[in-house]
Amino acid sequence: MSTDASNRRVVVKSLFGAAGMFVFAIFVLPPIYDLFCEITGLGGKTGDEYTAVDVRVDTSREVQVRFVASNNASMPWTFKPTKDSVVVHPGEPTEITYFAHNVTDEDMVSQAIPSLVPNNVADYFHKTECFCFENQPLAAGDQADLKLVFIIDPDLPVGVNSVTLSYTIFDITDRAADPIAQL
């Protein structure tokens, strides 16, 4: 066998291997990670929409909530919290916004994925309204303030005085049913 044929075979096998790893990372790994976090409670993933019913406000405690935003490597938008942090009383509904700006010349759809630190506070951080519950379509050049309303549960462990809520925003335009119809 010639050296050229051997080199081509190595290149083809490498390309198929890279393509397989890409498909695994994009389509297989996220559901496995979600299942792992759901079963173990690790990963700081926050829960779904919360309905507050007779929540008492604990005015004797204050918790600092910090806000962080990051973009997935393929997401070109500007995305950031409008405030770096707030101090809240457990049980007190609090509203903040994140700013999103589609700086491209194409209509796009995003999805934000939340995470909390420390990881053990996820059960005590309740979102009553969140932009992360739905896809966020933005036309080319448009911008929006994305609303978040949350409550820190009064049963938050006493030693926890600060929480960091982080959102990573992803471009899901290719996976959205009809991005133009959503705008």
Phi and psi, residue 43, nearest 5°: 95, -10
Quick one: 53 and 141 in the same domain? yes
What is the per-residue pLDDT for 87?
98
Nearest CA-CA partner of 127 in 137, 139, 114:
114
> Do 2 and 55 belong to one domain?
no
Question: Are 74 and 163 within one domain?
Answer: yes
120 and 157 inside one domain: yes
Domain that holds residue 66: 44-182
Of 135, 71, 70, the residue nearest 108 (C-alpha): 135
35 and 51: one domain?
no
Cα separations in angstroms, 113 against 21, 52, 74, 134, 156:
22, 22, 15, 10, 22
Co-location of 15 and 95 in the same domain: no
Q: Are 85 and 171 members of one domain?
A: yes
Q: How many CA atoms lie within 13 A of 30 on its CB side?
A: 6
Same domain? 29 vs 65: no
Q: Which residue has the tokens 């397989």?
A: 20
SS3 120: helix
Name the nearest CA neighbour of 150 among 84, 112, 94, 80.
94
The encoded tokens of residue 34 equal 């979600």
What pLDDT does residue 50 have? 46
Total structural domains within the chain: 2
Residue in the block written with tokens 């899901």: 172
> Which pLDDT value is given to residue 39?
45
Q: In tens digits, what is the pLDDT along the chain, a chain of 183 residues?
A: 678 888 888 888 888 888 777 776 676 666 666 555 554 444 444 554 445 556 789 999 999 999 999 999 999 999 999 999 999 999 999 999 999 999 999 999 999 999 999 988 999 999 999 999 999 999 999 999 999 999 999 999 999 999 999 999 999 998 876 544 544
The CATH number linked to 140 is 2.60.370.10
Please check whether residues 110 and 29 belong to one and the same domain: no
Residues 61, 120 share a domain: yes
CA 81/CA 145 separation, integer angstroms = 9
* 50 and 13 share one domain: no
The half-sphere exposure of 4 on its side-chain side, counting CA atoms within 13 A, is 0
Instruction: Specify whether 84 is located in the same domain as 31.
Output: no
